[in-house]
Amino acid sequence: MSDRGIPPAVILVEPQLAENIGTAARAMLNCGLTDLRLVNPRDPFPSERASAASVGALEIMPPVKIFDSTEAAVADLNMVYATTARERKMVKPILTPRALGETAVEAGRAGRKVGILFGRERTGLEKDDIALADAVVTVPLNPEFTSLNLAQAVLLLGYEWYQAGDSTPPRVLETHGAEPATKEQLYGFFAHFEKALDDCGFLRNEEARPNMIRNLRNLWGRAELTEQEIRTLHGVVKELTTLREKKRQ
């Protein structure tokens, strides 16, 4: 986690069901978040139900801290964000989860402590809790059907924090150790393949021939072939032409 700095704390304000504490913990740990704080949970905590729902996450994470007010739960933090689904009539900056993720990674790397508040399952955060926060975070989702459970909201915020510090390339060709073919190997296959097409008459239309060859070369090029696959394709062409030779006899 070091390249993301201090991970944000997740503060569940008055969670109602023990299961939801567990599923929130599970969602957190997926994203490398381990600082879980509860403000006045309705069900007793810790509990079997919470632990079972966490699928092992609560055992791995440091002990959950319990507080009797939101103020106390965030007292040591430098920046606090309130998640809300519904409109609250407050003059407040609204961030996307992505913007919060980037802000939180920046803050964490600078040694600042960030917390994200989540309200009760049914009713969300109270206005007085929101007023304690620096900004509101709202997830842009289908306005005609916004129905996230607590763990899903925690997951989306944690996911964006994790992505903000992640260096996975958007797209990579996984070859599991196989070497990508060199251009010499690729062009060697082109020559074999095109010779076979010439021999069988597929390229007999002289006018269409150059374009057909270019199209086929582009097709093979898009496939990002490995050395092993080039060898396989040489074998395929060889066997196909051998079959043709045999039939001709």
CB of 100 to a second copy, least distance (A): 9
Phi, psi angles (nearest 5°) of residue 114: -110, 145
Per-residue contact string for residues 117-136; x = within reach of a second copy by CB under 8 A:
------------------xx
- Largest Cα span, the chain: 91
Q: Kindly state the tokens that stand for 93.
A: 């900056």
Query: Binding of a second copy at residue 156 (CB under 8 A)?
Result: yes
**Between the CA of residue 109 and those of 71, 100, 103, 116, 165, what are the distances in Å?**
24, 14, 10, 17, 10
CB of 178 to a second copy, least distance (A): 6
Q: Kindly state the tokens that stand for 143.
A: 């306005």
Query: Binding of a second copy at residue 171 (CB under 8 A)?
Result: yes
Query: Binding of a second copy at residue 2 (CB under 8 A)?
Result: no
CB of 198 to a second copy, least distance (A): 29
Site for a second copy in 52-111 (CB under 8 A): 55-57, 60, 87, 89-96, 98-99, 102
Order of all β-strands in the sheet with 36-39? 65-67, 36-39, 9-13, 114-118, 79-83, 135-137
Q: Which stretch binds a second copy (CB under 8 A): 36-44, 125-133, 142-150, 203-211?
A: 142-150
The dihedral region occupied by 87, where left means phi > 0, alpha psi between -120 and 50, and beta the remainder, is: beta
Nearer to a second copy, 41 or 97 (CB): 97
Nearer to a second copy, 140 or 201 (CB): 140
Query: Binding of a second copy at residue 155 (CB under 8 A)?
Result: yes
Burial of 183 from C-beta contacts in 10 A (0-12 / 13-18 / 19+): exposed
Angle ∠(123,125,130) on CA atoms, nearest 5? 150
Pairwise CA distance, residues 171 & 153, whole Å? 27
Query: Binding of a second copy at residue 205 (CB under 8 A)?
Result: no
Q: Kindly state the tokens that stand for 1.
A: 């986690």
Question: Of residues 176, 183, 246, 248, which one binds a second copy by CB under 8 A?
Answer: 176
CB of 93 to a second copy, least distance (A): 5
CB of 105 to a second copy, least distance (A): 14
Nearest to 14 by CA among 121, 115, 135: 121
Residues of this chain that bind a second copy (CB under 8 A): 26-27, 29-32, 55-57, 60, 87, 89-96, 98-99, 102, 135-136, 139-142, 145-148, 151-152, 155-156, 159, 162-163, 166, 168-176, 178, 224, 226, 229
